[in-house]
Amino acid sequence: MRRSRSLGARCLTGVLAIAVAAFIPGAGHGADLIAPDAVSLKDAPEDAPHGGNNHSTIPAGVSGAAMVGSGESMLMYMPMYMRMQGTYIGTDQVSTPTILETPHSGMGKYLSVVPNSMDVQMHMFGAEYGVTNAFNIMVMGNYVDKSMTMTSYAEPMMGGNPAMGRTLYGARTNETDGLADVTVTGLVRLYDDRVNHIHINLGLSLPTGDITQQVTMISPMNGMPMTMRAMYGMQIGTGTVDFLPGITYTANKDLWSWGAAYRGRIALDDNGEGYRWGDLHEVTGWLGYTFIPGVTATARIAGSTQGKIDGSDPLIAGPMQGTVPGYYGGQRIDLFGGVEIAGHQFGLGNTRLAIEAGAPVYQDLNGPQLGHDWQLNAALGVRF
């Protein structure tokens, strides 16, 4: 069933209510729960409580986990590189013949175009400003580049085995790129002391990314090039306004730091092409150890679940798995290892560089669907 538009109204009302509360004197300072407002990081002694959570190590792949003090700001650049390879149905990686035996309800009776791999680059740029010690605003924009290689096979003979005797027409690589969706998020501090920090993240993703990109495929009907609207996963944006809830916990004591975060992405309505992405929920936790001053090693585990695409774009069609809304979403668990470098220890001021790499240890996908192979995250930040 489709969600009603009232869901969007309720989410927006909740965001506005909490944002307004953050401006009310005393808001976010419940009895025995919230640490009192602290002086700015610029003026505070190193071991004093402060308006942000600047004392905590945050892995490169976790965004929206740091707050700044009142009147302070932070600029961020967060590139991400990801490789997708191998087709999964549930938890099983399947072969090309299995894909070619998969029935298809659209053009062609069976799937005839098999994805080999997909590379994704995302370059995220962001700015965060401390309206008060308890309330920050963060704006993120990003540029996305996607490249997918797919192999086309001739349609099967009538009545024959769909995985046997097919003519191999060849492989082709297509690329889509452009500016993706912009997000605006409010960070509201709930608790902060010398060790622990908790804040909530409430944001919206705005549909600034293109959802009408095109690719040129080798047609299974005749082996000739065919230009068509790109598959859902090759589009740059979502086309929808999405609610972005979250909560973040970070902590630091002596040489150790740790944290956990939840992030959600919930489309508030269908886009103009008639579909929305499935609800996404992600939970992550991490541990850090500072083995030399200014250099911290990090280990992180992340789990995610996402629903199938709801609805469909009538112009996204063809006998390939990426055109089927039901072949998106699933569950995944990833492990990451990385390092964070604090620039002030090396005479570089209030800068931070973090890098991490990881891969999935569990995938249960609504397939056939390309699985994740590896991912590299980086984060460069500077505070003012």
CA distance 251 to 65: 11
- Residue 86 binned pLDDT confidence (cut-offs 50, 70, 90): very high
212 vs 161 pLDDT, higher one = 212
292 vs 1 pLDDT, higher one = 292
> What is the DSSP annotation of 262-303?
EEEEEESS--TTSEEPPPEEEEEEEEEEEEETTEEEEEEEEE
- Residue 26 binned pLDDT confidence (cut-offs 50, 70, 90): very low
CA distance 131 to 192: 17
DSSP category for residue 117: E
Nearest residue to 90 via CA among 378, 367, 292: 367
Q: Is the pLDDT of residue 274 over 80?
A: yes
CA distance 315 to 230: 9
Q: Is the pLDDT of residue 35 over 60?
A: no
Q: Say if residues 288 and 294 touch (Cβ distance below 8 Å).
A: no
The radius of gyration of the chain from alpha carbons, rounded to an integer in Å, stands at 23
CA distance 366 to 98: 15
CA distance 43 to 66: 18
Span 73-78, average pLDDT: 97
Span 115-137, average pLDDT: 97
Per residue in 288-331, pLDDT (tens digit) is 999 999 999 999 999 999 999 999 999 999 999 999 999 999 99
Span 278-287, average pLDDT: 98
- Residue 15 binned pLDDT confidence (cut-offs 50, 70, 90): very low
Span 216-242, average pLDDT: 95
Nearest residue to 381 via CA among 58, 45, 41: 58
Q: Is the pLDDT of residue 344 over 80?
A: yes
Q: Is the pLDDT of residue 208 over 60?
A: yes
CA distance 165 to 169: 12
- Residue 143 binned pLDDT confidence (cut-offs 50, 70, 90): very high
Per residue in 155-183, pLDDT (tens digit) is 887 766 787 878 999 999 999 999 999 99
Residues 6 or more apart in contact with residue 229 via CB below 8 angstroms: 212, 213, 214, 215, 313, 315, 316, 317
CA distance 241 to 203: 10
Q: Is the pLDDT of residue 260 over 60?
A: yes
261: tokens are 């975060």
Percentage of the chain exceeding pLDDT 90 = 79
CA distance 316 to 323: 6
Cα–chain center distance at 361: 18
CA distance 295 to 347: 14
Q: Is 18 helix (H, G, I), strand (E, B) or coil?
A: helix
Q: Is the pLDDT of residue 29 over 80?
A: no
Q: Say if residues 237 and 272 touch (Cβ distance below 8 Å).
A: no
Question: Length of the chain, please?
Answer: 384
Per residue in 38-70, pLDDT (tens digit) is 223 333 334 333 445 545 899 999 999 999 999
Domains and CATH numbers, the chain: 6-383 (2.40.128.130)
Alpha helices per DSSP H over the chain:
6-23, 96-100
User: Looking at this protein, which amino acid is placed at residue 220?
Assistant: P
316: tokens are 């996204």
98: tokens are 């299995």
Q: What local confidence, expressed as pLDDT, does residue 52 receive? A: 53
Per DSSP, what are the bridge partners of residue 115? 150
Nearest residue to 68 via CA among 131, 139, 23: 131
Span 19-40, average pLDDT: 32
Q: Is the pLDDT of residue 276 over 50?
A: yes
Q: What local confidence, expressed as pLDDT, does residue 165 receive? A: 79
Q: Is the pLDDT of residue 13 over 80?
A: no
